Amino acid sequence: MLTKLSQADWIERARAVLPGGGFGNFDPSIFIREGKGSRAWDEDGKEYVDLLIGSGPMLLGHGHPEVLEAVQEQLPKGMTFFANNARGVELAEEICSAVACADQVRYVSSGGEADMYAIRLARAFTGRDKIVKFEGGYHGMSAEAQMSLAPTRMVNFPQAVPDSAGIPESVRAEMLIAPFNDPDYIRSLLAEHGKEVAAIIVEPLQRIIPPEPGFLQLLRDEADKYGIVLIFDEVVTGFRFAYGGAQELYGVIPDIATLGKIIGGGFPLAAIAGRAEIMAHFDKAAVGAEKWLMQLGTLSGNPVAAVAGLKTMEVLRREGQYDKLRANGRRLMEMAKAALNARGIPHRIVGDPTLFEVVFTTGEIRDYRDVFASDTARATRFNAVLMQNGLFKSPGKTYPSLALTEADFEVCEAAYDKAAQAIAQE
């Protein structure tokens, strides 16, 4: 009989073979054993309401029976081929039908890859090198994306601050950093550098910070003015904010969107989706060797992820799904607000009902520096108490899902109350 290992045992084993004892994604002291529906269990058997949901992809909850059925039907037929397959084409057709900017799709395996290739694609299309990125915006792990992601040293815009070792100094020279939600600054920046800029890349909702009215349209207008490719990073917001993503919700259409998480139904899959004339640079026969962007990936468009994504998207198209998701999110937001207001604790609930977080501040949250200036120590304590009381979540985001039940909301309400009480007693 095999001896069951505790979480402490797994932590010790992980430290021997993994840098920092983890995968680099999350608190390495937490080992999740399994997930089902809205719940997750760690290796010690502690049960949580899961408000992390894999950092977003499990919008239907863990192990949705229809998704499992689709995957189980595909598995005996093959897991990957490094060749075209019909399911991948069907998924691309559905993405192009749903996403306004998408004439064509190219698959990769992760959102970070999609963002990296979107930036490279914009450079291939425009023949320019510079990229505008917003301070605090997350676009994966490429050298460009790791500029001013989470700087602890505030410098003058548009100077970039590298967030990682190993990035050549030359990359910094090609990055222009701007504050989110600042129309005047972006106008002045592009007035000076617009003809050198290949792309503006932006999360339509930057981490948790909503765009102020008119800001995304301004980016669209300025991009058109200077011949710049506008990239919406919709790896998180795609098929979460609405079936057509943030571009549907906000009514602003980019030239390229990057997608991930939900389109793979919990399996590794992401995509670059964009206008045909831009996407043509993936086709050597269409643009010639000098303008061709080489891209390939062993698992890109694999049929298992494709069928999982197709079934997930089919479920999301059913009547009332997005109303339910937003209602679930609003309910969680109100629980947190009520618990904190009852104790007079200054805070802001920042984001969208489908993706939000509590920020401890008395001021408005418009950009990264506003979040940086908030009481992050209080936020850390608040989130730690939520975890202790059965909510599994990111330290910076809350991901509602369609799987949440009345029993889950009872756990959440009690946990928010305990966390607010802990903050009040400090």
Active site residues: 138, 233, 261
- How far is residue 259's CA from residue 203's CA, in Å, rounded to a whole number? 11
- How far is residue 273's CA from residue 95's CA, in Å, rounded to a whole number? 8
- Token pair recorded at residue 354: 């489908």
- Token pair recorded at residue 397: 């985001």
Could you tell me which residues come within 8 angstroms of residue 97 by beta carbon, excluding any fewer than 6 positions away?
none
Residue type, 198: A
Is 110 within 8 Å of 263 (Cβ atoms)? Answer: no
Q: What is the largest CA-CA distance in the chain?
A: 71
- How far is residue 2's CA from residue 381's CA, in Å, rounded to a whole number? 38
List the one residue out of 109, 59, 112 whose CA is nearest residue 305.
109
**How far, CA to CA in Å, does 13 sit from each of 28, 31, 75?**
11, 12, 31
Is 252 within 8 Å of 220 (Cβ atoms)? Answer: yes
Name the burial class of residue 392, with classes exposed (0-12), middle (13-18) and buried (19+) by CB atoms within 10 angstroms of its CB.
buried
List the one residue out of 227, 180, 213, 215 whose CA is nearest residue 370.
180
